[in-house]
Amino acid sequence: MNYQVLARKWRPSNFSEVVGQDHVVKSLMNALQHDRLHHAYLFTGTRGVGKTTIARILAKAINCEDLKDFNPCGKCSVCRDFDDGRFMDLIEVDAASRTKVEDTRDLLDNAQYAPSHGRFKVYLIDEVHMLSGHSFNALLKTLEEPPAHVKFLLATTDPQKIPVTVLSRCLQFNLKRLLPDRISAQMDLILQQEHIDSESAALRLLARAADGSMRDGLSLLDQAIVYGNGKVLAEDVQTMLGTVARQPVEEILKALANGDAKAILAIIDEIATIQADFGDVLQQILQVLHRIAIVQQIPSAAVLDYDADMIAALARQFTPEDVQLYYQIGLIGQKDLDLAPDPKCGFEMIMLRMLTFKPVRPPANQAVRPPSDQSDRKKPSPAMTEKIAARAQQSDVQWSDMIAAMDIKGLTKELANNCVLKNIDEKVCTLVLDPGLNHLITSRAQENLQRALQTYQGASLKLTIISEKPTADTPAALVTKEREDRQQAAIDAIHSDETIQALKEQFGARIIPGTIEPV
């Protein structure tokens, strides 16, 4: 029973099977196509991203007797010898175990002799940065004037340790860390071929734990298959990795958005019952906050996320300022977690710190919530309705007042705040929305806003949203402008303060940019 681990069994044997390194593969295949092969290649990158694998494929391709679309054919005698590990003209060395100059000289002594079977004699030196200084000097001499039949393929995780004289004589390719979606997609493909049942959530957890390394990911997948007795399930993977599911993280962030300390502590107690690593939970929270910040700036980026709906929903619940503050508190809290009496206490303090330092919003921006019983709501009289409508047509500021008085929140409120009121009467309310914010128009948000307007106006009016550049400031723009004005006023007040000026003149004091905030 000779079981072969997945990382070896599914190791790419040609360029078409390489995952996530298209920029390198394309360059090498073009070089083969135009017969412009360099005498020395250096492949750099973190562990498990394919440095040695691509070097071996290249060594096979330049010696293959029958290239297929500039890929090794896999059928000729050279390819078969390569796959069986008995191709005589491939000299593969692990520099970590052969660092002495004598080893390098012995290795290169035979470089002058022609290959015995293939077109080229290939020296593949892995972890080349481990060579000693004298070994590099010996290698450099051959790199300067290499025989025409010799190719050098070097691989390293630390190119900074390689002398510049060696680097300048190599064609360098930097392999990228693989994104989790590429790793999980490859895992899914492999499991289908292996006829092993799996859950997509489990593969996402494994891909994230792989930290950009396909080899580490497949090793974890092997472990998960054994742990799950032939199945890869999310619950088993969470237990195996010692991580918590995404759901508690989402619930913590929702409670944080609502300022609910009691709910946060209750969720933390639940997490503690499964002996979770709170450092990992904090890492997950930071990852989600990072994705929220990106979606708030670039809404279209949400489609690239696994949990696009969750990220989009949280992005609407937090302000960009809150996200940046929480991210910074969590980032600093990572350093303090090990200093806490225990991880749970440390994590609780980090979350409570986020709540404590959460900025207090001005009362003017808070919605006035009506009674829960719809029948008890006070409806304005027809005369009052006409008065409100007339005032609303005169000034967009009145639209802000209407938003504050209506029972709307979340995406519905965000849609309203980014619109300008163009016209309103007993039958139609017409709003104007910038075309760049059309993603805010969802059927649910539009229905909720129309229902709130009908309740507020006391009439069955229809809501129409026109997509064009507004001619006036939206309520959201007015809030931003007010915030900027307050910030500038605070800056001006500090710079004009007599005490501050005296400190500057007498002690050379300076005001650190970005530290002034309005009270």
Q: Is 508 left (phi over 0), alpha (psi -120 to 50) or beta?
A: left
Helices (H), 93-132: 101-108
Radius of gyration of the chain (CA): 32
Domains 6-174 and 246-356 share a fold: no
Q: Give the domain ranges of the chain.
A: 6-174, 180-241, 246-356, 379-470, 473-519
CATH number of 180-241: 1.10.8.60
- In 258-317 the beta strands, taken as DSSP E runs, fall at none
Distances (CA, A) of 87 to 14, 45, 76, 78: 16, 26, 12, 7
How far is residue 61's CA from residue 14's CA, in Å, rounded to a whole number? Answer: 8
Look at residue 307 in the predicted model and tell me its pLDDT.
66
Three-state DSSP at 482 gives helix
CATH number of 379-470: 3.30.300.150
β partners of residue 91: 123
Round to the nearest angstrom and report the end-to-end CA distance of the chain: 73
How far is residue 456's CA from residue 311's CA, in Å, rounded to a whole number? Answer: 31
Query: Is residue 190 within 8 Å of residue 221, measured between CB atoms?
Result: yes
Nearest CA among 482, 486, 509 for reference residue 497: 509
Look at residue 49 in the predicted model and tell me its pLDDT.
92
Query: Is residue 136 within 8 Å of residue 166, measured between CB atoms?
Result: yes
How far is residue 321's CA from residue 138's CA, in Å, rounded to a whole number? Answer: 57
| Maximum C-alpha span of the chain | 102
Stated pTM of the model: 0.58
- Helix/strand/coil (H/E/C) assignment for every residue in 450-471: HHHHHHHHCCCCEEEEEECCCC
Strand 462-467 relative to strand 428-433, pairing: parallel
Output phi, psi for 178, to 5 deg.
-80, 140
Query: Is residue 59 within 8 Å of residue 228, measured between CB atoms?
Result: no
Look at residue 489 in the predicted model and tell me its pLDDT.
87
From first to last of its 519 residues, what are the pLDDT tens digits of the chain? Answer: 578 899 999 999 999 999 989 999 999 999 999 989 999 999 999 999 999 999 999 999 999 988 888 889 888 999 999 888 889 899 888 888 877 777 788 778 888 888 888 899 999 999 999 888 888 888 888 888 888 999 999 999 999 999 999 999 999 999 999 988 899 999 999 999 999 999 988 898 899 888 889 999 999 999 999 999 999 998 888 888 866 556 788 889 999 998 899 999 999 988 888 766 888 889 889 989 998 999 888 877 665 545 677 888 888 889 999 999 999 999 999 888 888 888 899 999 999 999 988 776 655 444 444 444 444 444 445 554 454 444 444 444 488 888 988 888 888 999 999 999 998 888 899 999 998 888 888 888 898 899 898 888 888 888 999 999 988 889 888 888 888 888 888 888 888 888 888 788 877 788 887 778 777
Distances (CA, A) of 432 to 412, 457, 475: 15, 19, 12
Query: Is residue 453 within 8 Å of residue 428, measured between CB atoms?
Result: no
Nearest CA among 265, 253, 239 for reference residue 289: 253
Strand 428-433 relative to strand 419-424, pairing: antiparallel
350: how many CB neighbours lie within 10 A of its CB? Answer: 21
How far is residue 128's CA from residue 94's CA, in Å, rounded to a whole number? Answer: 8
Distances (CA, A) of 57 to 52, 67, 504: 9, 12, 65
Q: Which residue has the tokens 């025409």?
A: 148
At the top level of CATH, the class of 6-174 is alpha beta
Distances (CA, A) of 303 to 178, 298, 410: 19, 11, 20
- Assign domain 246-356 one CATH number from 3.40.50.620, 1.10.287.70, 1.10.3720.10, 1.20.272.10: 1.20.272.10
Q: Which residues of 68-83 are buried (b: 16+ CB within 10 A; e: fewer)?
A: eebbbbeebebbebbe
Look at residue 141 in the predicted model and tell me its pLDDT.
84
